[in-house]
Each structure stands twice: as structure tokens, then as C-alpha cells.
Amino acid sequence: FWTTKQLEVVLVGLENSGKTTLLNVLAGGQDMETVPTIGLNVQMVRRGGVCLKCWDIGGQAEYRREWRRYAMGCDVIMYVVDSAAPARLASAKRELHRLLEDRQLSSTPLLVLANKIDLQPHVGEADLIKELNMDYIMDSPWLIIPISALRRVNIDQVLNWLTKQSR
Ligand code: GDP
């Protein structure tokens, strides 16, 4: 996966969804860079041909322009959701669809990671599709993979998906 062609990946989601944990897993011990910006804490990992950029989405509206800068030219979006926090799904949905309103991103392949499936109870895939209004996403090909970043469950599926996107 790390030696295939250039791939720009943005990893976004609400805070506490598990992005940093996942980024660490994907980085496999590689140092993470924190990019100094205003109002946006971007973490970045480059490894082989892959550049992963990670930040919280939601935050304040005035920083949207900032993250747009980081999302520009990305090949794929990974959107992390805390599947064990159903109360946050409405915000997760709103922010996801807001992200996809951006013309730069609206047709970019989207991988939704339903994280924290090691916790019980958690929202299942069918309910997530409903709660996140996935059926309204017409322009970008999307997929949901249930994972546990902490317990490293289904991480191989994430890597497989990324590998496919880089061909
Ligand atoms: P971020 O704010 O999106 O970067 O989220 P973090 O990666 O900092 O994770 C937030 C909290 O959730 C931390 O306490 C993590 O240890 C925890 N966490 C992350 N992934 C998982 C997971 O798969 N399962 C469980 N149980 N906890 C997780």
C-alpha cells in the first residue's frame, strides 16, 4: 500500500471519533507532523507515496476555508464516525454533507469508518447508512467499513480499499 502511486488522503471527522488513533495505526510508527495553522490542527503523515492529512471537522465555521485548503486535490476522503456515540450522529451527518457540498470534494471517493465497534452497544451499518443519509450521496462512490482503530479490527480492509484507490 505504501509503495503504490501518489495518493492524497484526507482523514476527517468530529473530534473524539478516533482519527488520531487511526492515523497512528496507519502510520505504523512513522512520525506525525503537526502543521501549524490558524484554528485547525492538521496532523500529517507521509509514507511511501501516500500523504495522509487529518483534522477535526465541525469546529467553527470560519475555519472551513482553512480545511478546504488541505482537502484540495485529495484523492480520497476517509470520514471517521464514533459508532458507539449515537447522540453525535446528527452532527456527524450534518458535517459530512456540508463537506460534500464543496465542489472540490463532491465526487471524491468516500470511505466512512464506523469506529469503536469494540464497544457495546454500537450503531450497525444499516442504521448508519440511514442516520448519515448515505443514500443521498449521489456523486461520490462510498463505502462503510466498521472498524476499531484501538483494537485494530478491520484495518486490513481499510488498507485494501486505499490500495484500490491508488491504482
Ligand atoms: P480524534 O479526536 O478523532 O483524533 O480521536 P482520538 O483518536 O483522540 O480518540 C478519542 C478517544 O477515543 C481516545 O480516548 C481513544 O483512545 C478512543 N478510541 C479511538 N478509537 C477507538 C476504538 O476503536 N475503540 C475504543 N473503545 N476507543 C477508541
* 2: in domain: no
C-alpha atoms less than 13 angstroms from C-alpha of 59 in its C-beta half-sphere:
18
* 103: in domain: yes
Q: What is the pLDDT confidence band of residue 18, given thresholds at 50, 70 and 90?
A: very high
Give helix 19-27 / helix 155-165 axis angle, nearest 10°.
70
Backbone phi and psi for residue 165, each to the nearest 5 degrees, phi listed first: -70, -20
* 1: in domain: no
Prediction pTM value: 0.94
Question: Distance from the CA of 97 to the center of ligand 1, in angstroms?
Answer: 23
So what's the pLDDT on residue 37?
80
Q: Which domain holds residue 32?
A: 7-165
* 90: in domain: yes
Q: Does the pLDDT of residue 3 top 70, yes or no? A: no
Tell me if 19 is assigned to a ligand binding site: yes
- Domains of the chain: total: 1
pLDDT in tens, 44-89: 998 778 899 999 988 777 887 788 888 888 999 999 999 999 999 9
**Of 59, 16, 20, residue with least CA distance to 40:** 59
Question: Distance from the CA of 89 to the center of ligand 1, in angstroms?
Answer: 16
- Mean pLDDT computed over every residue of the chain: 91
Cell numbers 488541505 correspond to 70
* 153: in domain: yes
Ligand 1 atom nearest to 14, measured from its CA: 3
C-alpha atoms less than 13 angstroms from C-alpha of 10 in its C-beta half-sphere:
25
* 127: in domain: yes
| CATH number, domain containing residue 117 | 3.40.50.300
* 43: in domain: yes
Based on the residue annotation, tell me whether 60 is a catalytic residue of this protein.
yes
Q: Are 115 and 18 in contact (CB under 8 A)?
A: yes
* 65: in domain: yes
